[in-house]
Amino acid sequence: MNNLYDKYFNKPSIRDARKRRSTDTPRFSYQPQSHLGALGAGKTYLIQTYGCQGNEADTETMQGILHEMGFSPVHEPSKADLIVLNTCAIRANAENRVFGEIGRLKQFKRHNPDLLLAVAGCMPQEESVVEKLLKSYPYVDLIFGTHNIHKLPYYLESAILSKERVIEVFSEEGAIIENLPKARDHAYKAWVNIMYGCDEFCTYCIVPYTRGKERSRAPEDVLEEIRALASEGYREVTLLGQNVNAYGRDFNDRDYTFAHLLADLRDVPIDRVRFTTSHPKDLDEATILVLAQGGNLMPHIHLPVQSGSDAVLKKMNRHYTREVFLQCVDTIRTHIPDASLTTDLIVGFPTETDADFEATLDLVKTVGFEGAFTFIFSPRDGTPAAQYVDDVPAEVKKTRLQTLNQAINAGYLAGHKRFEGQTVKVLVDGQSKSDPTILAGYTPHNKLVNFSGLAELKGQIVDVKITEAKTWFLKGTVI
Ligand code: SAH
Ligand code: SF4
Ligand code: F3S
pLDDT tops 70 at residue 5: no
Q: Is the CB of 242 under 6 A from ligand 1?
A: yes
Report how far ligand 1's centroid is from the alpha carbon of 462 (Å).
34
> Where are the strands (E) in 316-417, listed by range?
340-347, 372-376
Predicted local confidence at residue 432, as pLDDT? 85
In the chain, % helix, strand, coil (3-state, to 5) comes to: 35, 25, 40
Report how far ligand 2's centroid is from the alpha carbon of 15 (Å).
18
Predicted local confidence at residue 33, as pLDDT? 77
Predicted local confidence at residue 7, as pLDDT? 67
What single letter denotes the amino acid at residue 256?
Y
269 vs 265: CA distance, rounded Å: 8
For the segment 249-270, the average pLDDT, to the nearest whole number, is 97
pLDDT tops 90 at residue 8: no
Q: Is the dihedral of CA 186, 190, 196, 199 positive or negative?
A: negative
pLDDT tens for each residue of 361-394: 999 999 999 999 999 999 999 999 999 999 999 9
Q: Is the CB of 344 under 6 A from ligand 1?
A: yes
Q: Is the CB of 10 under 6 A from ligand 1?
A: no
What single letter denotes the amino acid at residue 350?
P
The closest of 316, 312, 306 to 352, measured between CA atoms, is 312
Q: Is the CB of 55 under 6 A from ligand 1?
A: no
For the segment 77-87, the average pLDDT, to the nearest whole number, is 98
Q: Is the CB of 277 under 6 A from ligand 3?
A: no
For the segment 104-115, the average pLDDT, to the nearest whole number, is 94
pLDDT tens for each residue of 15-69: 899 999 888 899 999 988 777 778 999 999 999 999 999 999 999 999 999 999 9
Q: Is the CB of 390 under 6 A from ligand 1?
A: no
Residues with C-beta less than 6 Å from any ligand 2 atom: 198, 200-202, 205, 207-208, 242-243, 279
Q: Is the CB of 375 under 6 A from ligand 1?
A: yes
For the segment 160-183, the average pLDDT, to the nearest whole number, is 92
Predicted local confidence at residue 163, as pLDDT? 80
Which ligand 2 atom is at minimum distance from the Cα of 201?
A: 8
CATH number attached to the domain at 178-417: 3.80.30.20
Predicted local confidence at residue 37, as pLDDT? 76
Among 3-12, 202-211, 284-293, 442-451, the minimum mean pLDDT is found in: 3-12
| The architecture CATH gives domain 423-478 | Beta Barrel (2.40)
pLDDT tops 60 at residue 2: no
Predicted local confidence at residue 97, as pLDDT? 97
CA distances from 288 to 103, 320, 348 (A): 47, 18, 32
Which residues, 6 or more positions from 52, have their beta carbon under 8 angstroms from its beta carbon?
88, 90
Number of Cβ within a 10 Å radius of residue 452: 12
pLDDT confidence bin for 164, thresholds 50/70/90:
confident
408 vs 67: CA distance, rounded Å: 42
Tell whether pTM > 0.85.
yes
Task: Please calculate the CA angle 98-210-55 and round it to the nearest 5 degrees.
Answer: 60
Going from N- to C-terminal start, the domains of the chain cover: 9-168, 178-417, 423-478
Residue from 52, 59, 129 whose mutation best tests the ligand 3 pocket (most atoms within 8 A of CB): 52
Burial class for 32, CB neighbours closer than 10 Å (0-12, 13-18, 19+): middle
Predicted local confidence at residue 434, as pLDDT? 82
Q: What is the mean pLDDT of the chain?
A: 95
pLDDT confidence bin for 1, thresholds 50/70/90:
very low
Q: Could you give the percent of the chain with pLDDT greater than 70?
A: 98
User: Is 357 strand, coil or helix?
Assistant: helix
CATH topology of domain 9-168: Rossmann fold (3.40.50)
Strand pairing category for 448-452 and 474-478: parallel
For the segment 339-343, the average pLDDT, to the nearest whole number, is 98
CA distances from 55 to 167, 382, 428 (A): 20, 21, 24
Predicted local confidence at residue 4, as pLDDT? 45
Number of Cβ within a 10 Å radius of residue 309: 24
For residues 100-133, one letter each, b for 16 or more C-beta atoms within 10 angstroms of the residue's C-beta and e for the rest, the string is ebbeebeebbeeeeebbbbbbbbbbbbbebbeeb
Which ligand 3 atom is at minimum distance from the Cα of 94?
A: 1
Predicted local confidence at residue 6, as pLDDT? 61
Which ligand 2 atom is at minimum distance from the Cα of 277?
A: 4
* Phi, psi angles (nearest 5°) of residue 350: -50, 135
Which 8-state DSSP code applies to residue 306? B
What single letter denotes the amino acid at residue 414?
A
pLDDT tops 50 at residue 235: yes
pLDDT tops 90 at residue 72: yes
